[in-house]
Amino acid sequence: MLQISGWLALGLIALAWFFSDIDFSDLFSARRMDNLSRFAERALPDPLRESGEGGSLGAWVTNQMNLYGWRGMGATLGISVIAIVLAGGIGSILGAFGARNLMSAHPFVPHATAGHGACNHALDRVAQVVRILCILLRAIPEYIWAYLLLAMLGSSAWPAILALAIHNSGILGRLGGETIENLASEPLRAMSMAGATRKEIAIAGVFPMALGRYLLYFFYRFETCVREATVLGMLGMVSLGYYIFEARAHDQYDELIFLVILGGLLVMLADILSDLARRWLRRSV
Amino acid sequence: MAKPADLAALGGQESTRRVRVLTGILAAGILAFLGLGLDGSGLLPKGDGASLVREFFVAALQPAWDYEPGGFLPADAPPFLLKVAKGLWGTLVYAIAAISLSFVFGLLLGVLASESFWATRGKAWGVVRWSIRILLTGMRSIHELLWALLLLAALGLSPAAAVLAIFIPYTGTLAKVFSEMLDESDPRPSYALSQIGASQSRVFLFARLPRTLPDIAAYTFYRFECAVRSSAVLGFFGFTTVGLYLKQSFENLHYHEVWTYLYSLILVVLVLEAWSAQLRRRFVV
Protein backbone atom coordinates (compact mmCIF):
# COMPACT_ATOMS: atom_id res chain seq x y z
CA MET A 1 0.00 0.00 0.00
CA LEU A 2 2.79 2.32 0.97
CA GLN A 3 4.76 1.57 -2.16
CA ILE A 4 1.77 2.10 -4.41
CA SER A 5 1.04 5.36 -2.66
CA GLY A 6 4.61 6.46 -3.06
CA TRP A 7 4.70 5.77 -6.77
CA LEU A 8 1.27 7.28 -7.26
CA ALA A 9 2.35 10.42 -5.47
CA LEU A 10 5.51 10.73 -7.54
CA GLY A 11 3.58 10.10 -10.71
CA LEU A 12 1.03 12.78 -9.88
CA ILE A 13 3.76 15.25 -9.02
CA ALA A 14 5.49 14.60 -12.34
CA LEU A 15 2.20 15.03 -14.19
CA ALA A 16 1.45 18.26 -12.38
CA TRP A 17 4.82 19.79 -13.17
CA PHE A 18 5.42 18.58 -16.68
CA PHE A 19 2.04 18.03 -18.25
CA SER A 20 0.09 21.08 -17.25
CA ASP A 21 0.03 24.74 -18.09
CA ILE A 22 2.21 25.73 -15.18
CA ASP A 23 5.08 27.68 -16.57
CA PHE A 24 7.29 29.66 -14.26
CA SER A 25 9.37 31.15 -17.04
CA ASP A 26 6.23 32.84 -18.29
CA LEU A 27 6.26 34.89 -15.12
CA PHE A 28 9.28 36.75 -16.39
CA SER A 29 7.93 37.61 -19.82
CA ALA A 30 7.95 41.19 -21.01
CA ARG A 31 4.24 41.67 -20.52
CA ARG A 32 4.38 40.61 -16.92
CA MET A 33 7.47 42.60 -16.09
CA ASP A 34 5.62 45.62 -17.48
CA ASN A 35 2.76 44.87 -15.18
CA LEU A 36 5.16 44.48 -12.28
CA SER A 37 6.75 47.86 -12.82
CA ARG A 38 3.34 49.50 -12.98
CA PHE A 39 2.46 47.72 -9.77
CA ALA A 40 5.65 48.79 -8.03
CA GLU A 41 5.04 52.38 -9.04
CA ARG A 42 1.59 52.44 -7.55
CA ALA A 43 2.67 50.43 -4.54
CA LEU A 44 4.44 53.37 -3.02
CA PRO A 45 2.04 55.26 -0.79
CA ASP A 46 0.50 58.39 -2.32
CA PRO A 47 2.12 60.98 -0.06
CA LEU A 48 5.56 59.51 -0.56
CA ARG A 49 5.14 59.62 -4.29
CA GLU A 50 4.04 63.21 -4.36
CA SER A 51 6.23 64.88 -1.81
CA GLY A 52 9.08 62.43 -1.61
CA GLU A 53 9.43 62.78 2.15
CA GLY A 54 8.67 60.35 4.95
CA GLY A 55 6.86 62.74 7.27
CA SER A 56 3.58 62.57 5.48
CA LEU A 57 3.65 58.80 5.73
CA GLY A 58 2.47 58.95 9.33
CA ALA A 59 -0.57 60.99 8.41
CA TRP A 60 -1.38 58.68 5.52
CA VAL A 61 -1.21 55.62 7.79
CA THR A 62 -3.47 57.23 10.38
CA ASN A 63 -5.94 58.18 7.70
CA GLN A 64 -6.00 54.68 6.31
CA MET A 65 -6.57 53.26 9.77
CA ASN A 66 -9.44 55.62 10.46
CA LEU A 67 -11.11 54.93 7.17
CA TYR A 68 -10.70 51.20 6.91
CA GLY A 69 -8.24 49.74 9.32
CA TRP A 70 -10.07 49.77 12.63
CA ARG A 71 -13.45 48.85 11.22
CA GLY A 72 -11.97 46.11 9.14
CA MET A 73 -10.00 44.59 12.00
CA GLY A 74 -12.90 44.86 14.43
CA ALA A 75 -15.33 43.25 12.03
CA THR A 76 -12.85 40.50 11.19
CA LEU A 77 -12.22 39.73 14.85
CA GLY A 78 -15.92 39.81 15.72
CA ILE A 79 -16.84 37.45 12.92
CA SER A 80 -14.13 34.99 13.90
CA VAL A 81 -15.07 34.95 17.58
CA ILE A 82 -18.77 34.30 16.97
CA ALA A 83 -18.02 31.68 14.36
CA ILE A 84 -15.56 29.76 16.50
CA VAL A 85 -17.83 29.82 19.57
CA LEU A 86 -20.67 28.41 17.48
CA ALA A 87 -18.39 25.84 15.90
CA GLY A 88 -17.02 24.90 19.31
CA GLY A 89 -20.49 24.14 20.62
CA ILE A 90 -21.71 22.25 17.59
CA GLY A 91 -18.37 20.48 17.21
CA SER A 92 -18.45 19.15 20.74
CA ILE A 93 -21.90 17.63 20.18
CA LEU A 94 -20.86 16.13 16.85
CA GLY A 95 -17.70 14.85 18.44
CA ALA A 96 -19.58 13.11 21.22
CA PHE A 97 -21.99 11.45 18.82
CA GLY A 98 -19.17 10.41 16.56
CA ALA A 99 -17.01 8.80 19.22
CA ARG A 100 -17.16 5.06 18.87
CA ASN A 101 -16.26 4.26 22.44
CA LEU A 102 -19.03 6.43 23.79
CA MET A 103 -21.55 5.31 21.20
CA SER A 104 -21.75 1.68 22.18
CA ALA A 105 -24.19 -0.30 24.28
CA HIS A 106 -21.72 -0.49 27.14
CA PRO A 107 -19.72 2.71 26.83
CA PHE A 108 -15.99 2.25 27.34
CA VAL A 109 -16.34 -1.43 28.09
CA PRO A 110 -15.15 -3.00 24.87
CA HIS A 111 -16.10 -6.61 25.40
CA ALA A 112 -19.38 -6.40 27.22
CA THR A 113 -21.60 -5.95 24.19
CA ALA A 114 -22.99 -9.47 24.16
CA GLY A 115 -26.74 -9.44 24.17
CA HIS A 116 -26.88 -5.81 23.11
CA GLY A 117 -26.46 -6.52 19.42
CA ALA A 118 -29.20 -4.38 17.98
CA CYS A 119 -28.66 -1.41 20.26
CA ASN A 120 -24.94 -1.51 19.70
CA HIS A 121 -25.40 -1.70 15.96
CA ALA A 122 -27.73 1.28 15.90
CA LEU A 123 -25.39 3.41 17.97
CA ASP A 124 -22.47 2.48 15.79
CA ARG A 125 -24.44 3.50 12.72
CA VAL A 126 -25.18 6.88 14.30
CA ALA A 127 -21.49 7.39 14.98
CA GLN A 128 -20.64 6.52 11.39
CA VAL A 129 -23.24 8.89 9.98
CA VAL A 130 -22.04 11.71 12.22
CA ARG A 131 -18.45 11.17 11.14
CA ILE A 132 -19.40 11.33 7.48
CA LEU A 133 -21.44 14.44 8.19
CA CYS A 134 -18.32 16.05 9.65
CA ILE A 135 -16.36 15.21 6.51
CA LEU A 136 -19.09 16.68 4.32
CA LEU A 137 -19.24 19.88 6.34
CA ARG A 138 -15.56 20.48 5.97
CA ALA A 139 -15.19 19.28 2.39
CA ILE A 140 -16.63 22.53 1.03
CA PRO A 141 -14.24 25.45 1.48
CA GLU A 142 -15.46 28.30 3.72
CA TYR A 143 -15.25 30.70 0.82
CA ILE A 144 -17.70 28.70 -1.24
CA TRP A 145 -20.09 28.31 1.71
CA ALA A 146 -19.92 32.08 2.18
CA TYR A 147 -20.47 32.75 -1.52
CA LEU A 148 -23.61 30.60 -1.56
CA LEU A 149 -24.93 31.93 1.73
CA LEU A 150 -24.36 35.50 0.61
CA ALA A 151 -26.61 34.94 -2.38
CA MET A 152 -29.26 33.45 -0.11
CA LEU A 153 -29.14 35.71 2.90
CA GLY A 154 -28.07 39.04 1.50
CA SER A 155 -25.24 41.22 2.65
CA SER A 156 -24.55 41.11 6.34
CA ALA A 157 -22.00 39.48 8.57
CA TRP A 158 -24.04 36.28 8.85
CA PRO A 159 -22.92 34.54 5.64
CA ALA A 160 -19.31 34.84 6.76
CA ILE A 161 -20.09 33.73 10.30
CA LEU A 162 -22.17 30.76 9.22
CA ALA A 163 -19.68 29.72 6.57
CA LEU A 164 -16.88 29.66 9.10
CA ALA A 165 -19.07 28.01 11.74
CA ILE A 166 -20.24 25.23 9.40
CA HIS A 167 -16.79 24.41 8.10
CA ASN A 168 -15.19 24.46 11.53
CA SER A 169 -18.00 22.44 13.11
CA GLY A 170 -16.99 19.63 10.81
CA ILE A 171 -13.36 19.97 11.76
CA LEU A 172 -13.92 20.32 15.50
CA GLY A 173 -16.45 17.49 15.37
CA ARG A 174 -13.82 15.21 13.91
CA LEU A 175 -11.11 16.39 16.32
CA GLY A 176 -13.51 16.13 19.28
CA GLY A 177 -14.40 12.59 18.31
CA GLU A 178 -10.74 11.66 18.15
CA THR A 179 -10.09 13.28 21.53
CA ILE A 180 -12.84 11.23 23.13
CA GLU A 181 -11.62 8.05 21.50
CA ASN A 182 -8.14 8.65 22.83
CA LEU A 183 -9.20 9.26 26.42
CA ALA A 184 -7.81 7.06 29.18
CA SER A 185 -10.51 4.49 29.61
CA GLU A 186 -10.09 3.30 33.19
CA PRO A 187 -11.99 6.02 35.04
CA LEU A 188 -14.73 5.95 32.42
CA ARG A 189 -14.95 2.18 32.47
CA ALA A 190 -15.26 2.34 36.22
CA MET A 191 -18.19 4.72 35.89
CA SER A 192 -19.80 2.48 33.33
CA MET A 193 -19.41 -0.64 35.47
CA ALA A 194 -20.83 1.19 38.44
CA GLY A 195 -24.01 1.62 36.46
CA ALA A 196 -23.82 5.17 35.12
CA THR A 197 -25.90 5.83 32.03
CA ARG A 198 -24.29 7.05 28.84
CA LYS A 199 -25.50 10.58 29.48
CA GLU A 200 -24.07 10.58 32.99
CA ILE A 201 -20.72 9.27 31.81
CA ALA A 202 -20.65 11.87 29.06
CA ILE A 203 -21.36 14.80 31.34
CA ALA A 204 -19.45 13.83 34.45
CA GLY A 205 -16.63 11.83 32.89
CA VAL A 206 -15.99 12.45 29.22
CA PHE A 207 -16.62 16.18 29.26
CA PRO A 208 -14.14 17.15 32.01
CA MET A 209 -11.47 14.80 30.71
CA ALA A 210 -11.76 15.80 27.08
CA LEU A 211 -12.21 19.54 27.57
CA GLY A 212 -8.52 20.40 27.91
CA ARG A 213 -7.50 18.79 24.67
CA TYR A 214 -10.58 20.03 22.89
CA LEU A 215 -9.85 23.61 23.91
CA LEU A 216 -6.38 23.25 22.41
CA TYR A 217 -7.99 22.44 19.08
CA PHE A 218 -10.54 25.20 19.67
CA PHE A 219 -7.88 27.90 19.95
CA TYR A 220 -5.96 26.51 17.00
CA ARG A 221 -9.06 26.81 14.87
CA PHE A 222 -9.71 30.32 16.21
CA GLU A 223 -6.47 31.45 14.67
CA THR A 224 -7.45 29.86 11.36
CA CYS A 225 -10.84 31.57 11.56
CA VAL A 226 -9.22 34.97 11.84
CA ARG A 227 -7.21 34.24 8.69
CA GLU A 228 -10.30 33.19 6.81
CA ALA A 229 -12.50 35.97 8.12
CA THR A 230 -10.00 38.51 6.83
CA VAL A 231 -10.42 37.10 3.38
CA LEU A 232 -14.16 36.43 3.33
CA GLY A 233 -14.70 40.16 3.24
CA MET A 234 -13.73 40.02 -0.40
CA LEU A 235 -17.16 38.71 -1.09
CA GLY A 236 -18.74 41.91 0.02
CA MET A 237 -19.41 41.92 3.74
CA VAL A 238 -17.49 44.25 5.96
CA SER A 239 -14.16 42.87 6.99
CA LEU A 240 -10.63 43.73 5.98
CA GLY A 241 -11.03 41.65 2.87
CA TYR A 242 -13.73 43.95 1.56
CA TYR A 243 -11.51 46.99 1.71
CA ILE A 244 -8.62 45.03 0.24
CA PHE A 245 -10.73 44.02 -2.71
CA GLU A 246 -11.93 47.58 -3.22
CA ALA A 247 -8.38 48.86 -3.12
CA ARG A 248 -7.39 46.48 -5.85
CA ALA A 249 -10.44 47.35 -7.91
CA HIS A 250 -9.39 50.99 -7.86
CA ASP A 251 -5.78 50.13 -8.66
CA GLN A 252 -4.73 51.64 -5.36
CA TYR A 253 -1.88 49.25 -4.79
CA ASP A 254 -0.44 51.24 -1.93
CA GLU A 255 -3.63 50.82 0.08
CA LEU A 256 -3.81 47.22 -1.03
CA ILE A 257 -0.40 46.42 0.38
CA PHE A 258 -1.05 48.38 3.56
CA LEU A 259 -4.30 46.53 4.28
CA VAL A 260 -2.82 43.15 3.42
CA ILE A 261 0.01 43.77 5.87
CA LEU A 262 -2.57 44.89 8.43
CA GLY A 263 -4.42 41.65 7.89
CA GLY A 264 -1.19 39.76 8.38
CA LEU A 265 -0.58 41.58 11.66
CA LEU A 266 -4.07 40.71 12.86
CA VAL A 267 -3.43 37.06 12.12
CA MET A 268 -0.13 37.23 13.97
CA LEU A 269 -1.96 38.77 16.93
CA ALA A 270 -4.49 35.96 16.90
CA ASP A 271 -1.63 33.50 16.60
CA ILE A 272 0.00 34.91 19.73
CA LEU A 273 -3.29 34.94 21.64
CA SER A 274 -4.00 31.40 20.57
CA ASP A 275 -0.50 30.32 21.56
CA LEU A 276 -0.83 31.93 25.00
CA ALA A 277 -4.20 30.29 25.56
CA ARG A 278 -2.82 26.92 24.57
CA ARG A 279 0.23 27.28 26.74
CA TRP A 280 -1.97 28.17 29.72
CA LEU A 281 -4.11 25.15 29.01
CA ARG A 282 -1.15 22.81 28.66
CA ARG A 283 0.00 23.68 32.13
CA SER A 284 -3.14 22.18 33.50
CA VAL A 285 -3.79 19.29 31.13
CA MET B 1 -2.86 4.30 31.40
CA ALA B 2 -4.76 6.99 33.19
CA LYS B 3 -2.44 9.82 34.08
CA PRO B 4 -2.79 11.93 37.23
CA ALA B 5 -3.89 14.79 35.02
CA ASP B 6 -6.83 12.79 33.69
CA LEU B 7 -8.01 11.89 37.15
CA ALA B 8 -7.47 15.41 38.39
CA ALA B 9 -9.73 16.60 35.59
CA LEU B 10 -12.56 14.82 37.28
CA GLY B 11 -11.99 16.63 40.55
CA GLY B 12 -13.79 19.61 41.99
CA GLN B 13 -10.92 22.08 41.76
CA GLU B 14 -10.72 21.73 38.03
CA SER B 15 -14.41 22.28 37.64
CA THR B 16 -14.22 25.91 38.80
CA ARG B 17 -11.44 26.48 36.31
CA ARG B 18 -13.54 24.90 33.57
CA VAL B 19 -16.52 27.05 34.44
CA ARG B 20 -14.35 30.14 34.26
CA VAL B 21 -12.86 29.25 30.87
CA LEU B 22 -16.18 28.36 29.32
CA THR B 23 -17.87 31.45 30.73
CA GLY B 24 -15.05 33.55 29.32
CA ILE B 25 -15.43 32.06 25.89
CA LEU B 26 -19.19 32.49 25.94
CA ALA B 27 -18.81 36.09 27.11
CA ALA B 28 -16.42 36.79 24.24
CA GLY B 29 -18.98 35.41 21.84
CA ILE B 30 -21.76 37.58 23.21
CA LEU B 31 -19.54 40.66 23.21
CA ALA B 32 -18.66 40.07 19.59
CA PHE B 33 -22.32 39.59 18.74
CA LEU B 34 -23.27 42.89 20.34
CA GLY B 35 -20.21 44.65 18.97
CA LEU B 36 -21.07 43.76 15.41
CA GLY B 37 -24.62 44.95 15.88
CA LEU B 38 -26.07 41.72 14.60
CA ASP B 39 -29.58 40.50 14.92
CA GLY B 40 -31.41 37.40 13.89
CA SER B 41 -33.00 38.98 10.85
CA GLY B 42 -29.83 38.43 8.87
CA LEU B 43 -30.43 34.71 9.14
CA LEU B 44 -33.61 34.73 7.14
CA PRO B 45 -33.44 34.91 3.38
CA LYS B 46 -35.07 38.06 2.11
CA GLY B 47 -37.33 38.52 -0.88
CA ASP B 48 -35.54 37.01 -3.83
CA GLY B 49 -33.33 35.10 -1.52
CA ALA B 50 -36.12 32.84 -0.31
CA SER B 51 -36.97 31.46 -3.74
CA LEU B 52 -33.27 31.16 -4.53
CA VAL B 53 -32.78 29.05 -1.41
CA ARG B 54 -35.62 26.75 -2.32
CA GLU B 55 -34.51 26.38 -5.93
CA PHE B 56 -30.94 25.85 -4.93
CA PHE B 57 -31.57 23.11 -2.41
CA VAL B 58 -34.06 21.33 -4.64
CA ALA B 59 -31.38 21.23 -7.32
CA ALA B 60 -29.19 19.33 -4.87
CA LEU B 61 -31.19 16.21 -5.53
CA GLN B 62 -30.58 16.36 -9.24
CA PRO B 63 -27.02 17.30 -10.09
CA ALA B 64 -26.49 17.97 -13.77
CA TRP B 65 -24.99 15.39 -16.08
CA ASP B 66 -25.11 17.74 -19.02
CA TYR B 67 -25.17 21.48 -19.63
CA GLU B 68 -28.32 23.23 -18.61
CA PRO B 69 -30.35 25.11 -21.21
CA GLY B 70 -30.12 28.87 -21.37
CA GLY B 71 -26.89 30.79 -21.26
CA PHE B 72 -24.12 30.99 -23.78
CA LEU B 73 -22.44 27.78 -24.90
CA PRO B 74 -19.57 27.98 -27.43
CA ALA B 75 -19.83 25.58 -30.37
CA ASP B 76 -16.77 23.60 -29.41
CA ALA B 77 -17.62 23.19 -25.75
CA PRO B 78 -16.60 19.78 -24.37
CA PRO B 79 -19.22 17.44 -22.87
CA PHE B 80 -20.23 18.68 -19.45
CA LEU B 81 -18.76 15.85 -17.45
CA LEU B 82 -15.50 16.32 -19.26
CA LYS B 83 -15.52 19.95 -18.23
CA VAL B 84 -16.08 18.92 -14.61
CA ALA B 85 -13.16 16.52 -14.88
CA LYS B 86 -11.03 19.24 -16.43
CA GLY B 87 -11.92 21.58 -13.58
CA LEU B 88 -11.02 18.95 -11.00
CA TRP B 89 -7.76 18.16 -12.70
CA GLY B 90 -6.83 21.84 -12.91
CA THR B 91 -7.58 22.15 -9.19
CA LEU B 92 -5.47 19.12 -8.36
CA VAL B 93 -2.57 20.21 -10.54
CA TYR B 94 -2.10 23.52 -8.77
CA ALA B 95 -2.43 21.85 -5.38
CA ILE B 96 0.04 19.07 -6.21
CA ALA B 97 2.60 21.45 -7.68
CA ALA B 98 2.32 23.81 -4.73
CA ILE B 99 2.50 21.12 -2.05
CA SER B 100 5.41 19.29 -3.64
CA LEU B 101 7.40 22.51 -3.70
CA SER B 102 6.21 23.44 -0.22
CA PHE B 103 7.29 20.10 1.16
CA VAL B 104 10.85 20.52 -0.06
CA PHE B 105 11.26 24.09 1.10
CA GLY B 106 9.20 23.49 4.20
CA LEU B 107 11.48 20.68 5.28
CA LEU B 108 14.56 22.76 4.62
CA LEU B 109 13.27 25.81 6.44
CA GLY B 110 11.72 23.68 9.16
CA VAL B 111 15.06 22.12 9.96
CA LEU B 112 16.69 25.54 10.00
CA ALA B 113 13.95 26.90 12.25
CA SER B 114 14.11 24.11 14.80
CA GLU B 115 15.93 24.33 18.09
CA SER B 116 17.26 20.80 17.94
CA PHE B 117 19.20 21.46 14.76
CA TRP B 118 21.05 24.43 16.18
CA ALA B 119 21.40 22.81 19.61
CA THR B 120 25.15 22.86 20.04
CA ARG B 121 26.31 25.17 17.31
CA GLY B 122 26.78 28.29 19.35
CA LYS B 123 24.64 31.27 20.19
CA ALA B 124 25.55 33.34 17.14
CA TRP B 125 23.48 31.07 14.93
CA GLY B 126 20.40 32.00 16.94
CA VAL B 127 20.11 35.05 14.72
CA VAL B 128 19.72 32.86 11.65
CA ARG B 129 17.08 30.81 13.38
CA TRP B 130 15.10 33.82 14.50
CA SER B 131 15.21 35.52 11.12
CA ILE B 132 13.91 32.36 9.51
CA ARG B 133 11.10 32.14 12.04
CA ILE B 134 10.13 35.74 11.33
CA LEU B 135 10.19 35.07 7.62
CA LEU B 136 7.98 32.02 8.08
CA THR B 137 5.51 33.93 10.24
CA GLY B 138 5.26 36.61 7.59
CA MET B 139 4.74 34.03 4.87
CA ARG B 140 1.96 32.21 6.66
CA SER B 141 0.10 35.11 8.21
CA ILE B 142 -1.12 36.27 4.84
CA HIS B 143 -3.87 34.12 3.42
CA GLU B 144 -3.29 32.36 0.11
CA LEU B 145 -6.13 34.33 -1.44
CA LEU B 146 -4.45 37.58 -0.44
CA TRP B 147 -1.17 36.40 -1.92
CA ALA B 148 -3.16 35.53 -5.04
CA LEU B 149 -4.60 39.04 -5.11
CA LEU B 150 -1.16 40.60 -4.79
CA LEU B 151 0.31 38.34 -7.43
CA LEU B 152 -2.63 39.01 -9.74
CA ALA B 153 -2.11 42.73 -9.39
CA ALA B 154 1.63 42.44 -9.87
CA LEU B 155 1.89 39.79 -12.54
CA GLY B 156 -1.52 39.19 -14.02
CA LEU B 157 -3.38 35.92 -14.41
CA SER B 158 -1.04 32.95 -14.71
CA PRO B 159 -0.99 29.33 -13.53
CA ALA B 160 2.41 29.86 -11.96
CA ALA B 161 0.94 32.72 -9.93
CA ALA B 162 -1.74 30.37 -8.57
CA VAL B 163 0.92 27.86 -7.54
CA LEU B 164 2.99 30.61 -5.90
CA ALA B 165 -0.05 31.96 -4.06
CA ILE B 166 -0.58 28.59 -2.41
CA PHE B 167 3.11 27.82 -2.05
CA ILE B 168 4.08 30.82 0.07
CA PRO B 169 1.73 30.45 3.06
CA TYR B 170 1.78 26.66 2.96
CA THR B 171 5.56 26.57 3.10
CA GLY B 172 5.40 28.84 6.11
CA THR B 173 2.91 26.59 7.91
CA LEU B 174 4.69 23.36 6.98
CA ALA B 175 8.03 24.70 8.09
CA LYS B 176 6.67 25.87 11.44
CA VAL B 177 4.91 22.58 12.16
CA PHE B 178 7.90 20.52 11.00
CA SER B 179 10.22 22.47 13.28
CA GLU B 180 7.90 21.84 16.23
CA MET B 181 7.64 18.15 15.39
CA LEU B 182 11.42 17.87 15.16
CA ASP B 183 11.87 19.60 18.50
CA GLU B 184 9.22 17.56 20.27
CA SER B 185 10.19 14.16 18.94
CA ASP B 186 11.39 11.39 21.18
CA PRO B 187 14.90 12.35 22.31
CA ARG B 188 16.02 8.82 23.16
CA PRO B 189 17.37 7.70 19.78
CA SER B 190 19.27 10.98 19.45
CA TYR B 191 20.65 10.55 22.93
CA ALA B 192 21.71 6.97 22.26
CA LEU B 193 23.49 7.92 19.06
CA SER B 194 25.30 10.83 20.62
CA GLN B 195 26.40 8.61 23.51
CA ILE B 196 28.34 6.42 21.12
CA GLY B 197 30.12 9.45 19.75
CA ALA B 198 28.24 10.50 16.63
CA SER B 199 28.59 14.15 15.63
CA GLN B 200 25.67 16.55 16.06
CA SER B 201 24.80 16.63 12.38
CA ARG B 202 24.82 12.84 12.15
CA VAL B 203 22.64 12.58 15.22
CA PHE B 204 20.16 14.95 13.70
CA LEU B 205 20.20 13.33 10.29
CA PHE B 206 20.05 9.71 11.34
CA ALA B 207 18.14 9.74 14.58
CA ARG B 208 15.91 12.75 14.96
CA LEU B 209 14.83 13.31 11.38
CA PRO B 210 13.88 9.72 10.50
CA ARG B 211 12.00 9.42 13.77
CA THR B 212 9.83 12.39 12.86
CA LEU B 213 9.22 11.44 9.22
CA PRO B 214 5.88 9.61 9.73
CA ASP B 215 4.39 12.65 11.48
CA ILE B 216 5.84 14.91 8.80
CA ALA B 217 4.33 12.78 6.05
CA ALA B 218 0.94 12.64 7.74
CA TYR B 219 0.80 16.39 8.20
CA THR B 220 1.90 17.02 4.63
CA PHE B 221 -0.92 14.84 3.39
CA TYR B 222 -3.42 16.76 5.50
CA ARG B 223 -2.05 20.02 4.10
CA PHE B 224 -2.38 18.64 0.58
CA GLU B 225 -6.09 18.16 1.18
CA CYS B 226 -6.29 21.77 2.37
CA ALA B 227 -4.35 22.86 -0.71
CA VAL B 228 -6.92 21.22 -2.95
CA ARG B 229 -9.61 23.31 -1.28
CA SER B 230 -7.56 26.49 -1.57
CA SER B 231 -6.92 25.74 -5.20
CA ALA B 232 -10.64 25.28 -5.80
CA VAL B 233 -11.36 28.70 -4.28
CA LEU B 234 -8.68 30.36 -6.41
CA GLY B 235 -11.03 29.70 -9.29
CA PHE B 236 -13.21 32.52 -8.02
CA PHE B 237 -10.43 34.89 -9.00
CA GLY B 238 -10.17 33.67 -12.55
CA PHE B 239 -7.75 30.78 -12.38
CA THR B 240 -8.95 27.66 -14.19
CA THR B 241 -10.05 25.48 -11.31
CA VAL B 242 -13.39 24.14 -10.11
CA GLY B 243 -14.16 27.44 -8.41
CA LEU B 244 -14.23 29.30 -11.69
CA TYR B 245 -16.73 26.95 -13.29
CA LEU B 246 -18.82 26.85 -10.13
CA LYS B 247 -19.00 30.64 -10.03
CA GLN B 248 -19.92 30.86 -13.71
CA SER B 249 -22.66 28.26 -13.37
CA PHE B 250 -24.03 29.99 -10.30
CA GLU B 251 -24.13 33.35 -12.03
CA ASN B 252 -26.02 31.75 -14.89
CA LEU B 253 -28.46 30.37 -12.31
CA HIS B 254 -27.60 26.80 -13.38
CA TYR B 255 -27.94 25.38 -9.90
CA HIS B 256 -27.86 21.77 -11.03
CA GLU B 257 -24.45 22.34 -12.54
CA VAL B 258 -23.32 24.02 -9.34
CA TRP B 259 -24.29 20.93 -7.36
CA THR B 260 -22.37 18.71 -9.75
CA TYR B 261 -19.27 20.74 -9.06
CA LEU B 262 -19.93 20.64 -5.31
CA TYR B 263 -20.43 16.87 -5.33
CA SER B 264 -17.30 16.36 -7.40
CA LEU B 265 -15.29 18.39 -4.89
CA ILE B 266 -16.77 16.38 -2.01
CA LEU B 267 -15.88 13.21 -3.89
CA VAL B 268 -12.26 14.27 -4.21
CA VAL B 269 -12.08 15.05 -0.49
CA LEU B 270 -13.65 11.67 0.38
CA VAL B 271 -11.13 9.85 -1.81
CA LEU B 272 -8.27 11.71 -0.14
CA GLU B 273 -9.74 10.95 3.29
CA ALA B 274 -9.95 7.25 2.47
CA TRP B 275 -6.40 7.23 1.15
CA SER B 276 -5.10 8.96 4.25
CA ALA B 277 -6.99 6.55 6.52
CA GLN B 278 -5.42 3.61 4.69
CA LEU B 279 -1.95 5.10 5.11
CA ARG B 280 -2.53 5.78 8.78
CA ARG B 281 -3.50 2.16 9.31
CA ARG B 282 -0.16 1.08 7.89
CA PHE B 283 1.77 3.53 10.02
CA VAL B 284 -0.10 3.15 13.29
CA VAL B 285 1.14 6.56 14.31
Within 13 A of A247's CA, how many CA atoms are on the CB side? 27
A260 contacts B150? CB cut-off 8 A: yes
* pLDDT tens profile B136-194: 989 988 899 989 988 888 888 888 889 999 999 999 999 999 988 888 877 788 788 87
B5 contacts A285? CB cut-off 8 A: yes
Q: Residue B66 gets which letter from DSSP?
A: S
Query: Which chain B positions have a beta carbon within 8 Å of A22's beta carbon?
Result: 93-94, 97, 159-160, 163
pLDDT in tens, chain A (285 residues): 677 888 888 888 888 888 777 777 766 777 777 777 777 777 766 555 555 555 666 777 777 777 777 778 888 888 999 999 999 999 999 999 988 888 877 777 766 655 567 777 888 888 899 999 999 999 999 999 998 888 888 778 888 999 999 999 999 999 999 888 888 788 888 888 888 888 888 888 888 888 888 888 999 899 889 989 988 877 777 777 777 887 778 877 777 888 888 888 888 888 888 888 877 776 655
User: Cα separation of A67 and A51, whole Å?
Assistant: 22
- CB contact, 8 Å: A3 with chain B? no
A211 contacts B18? CB cut-off 8 A: yes
In this complex, the residue of B21, B149, B232 whose CB is nearest that of residue A141 is: B232
User: Cα separation of B77 and A1, whole Å?
Assistant: 39
User: Cα separation of B148 and B234, whole Å?
Assistant: 8
Q: Residue A237 gets which letter from DSSP?
A: S
Min Cα distance B237 → chain A (Å) is 11
User: Cα separation of B262 and B246, whole Å?
Assistant: 8
Q: Does the structure's ipTM exceed the value 0.90?
A: no
In this complex, the residue of A40, A135, A151 whose CB is nearest that of residue B269 is: A135
In this complex, the residue of A16, A157, A184 whose CB is nearest that of residue B2 is: A184
* Best to test chain B binding among A1, A20, A242, A281 (most B CBs inside 10 Å): A20
The number of C-beta contacts closer than 8 angstroms across A and B is 213
* Best to test chain B binding among A13, A84, A135, A143 (most B CBs inside 10 Å): A143
User: Cα separation of B249 and A148, whole Å?
Assistant: 12
Q: What are the angstrom distances between the C-alpha of A167 and each of A134, A161, B60?
A: 9, 10, 19
User: Cα separation of A79 and A232, whole Å?
Assistant: 10
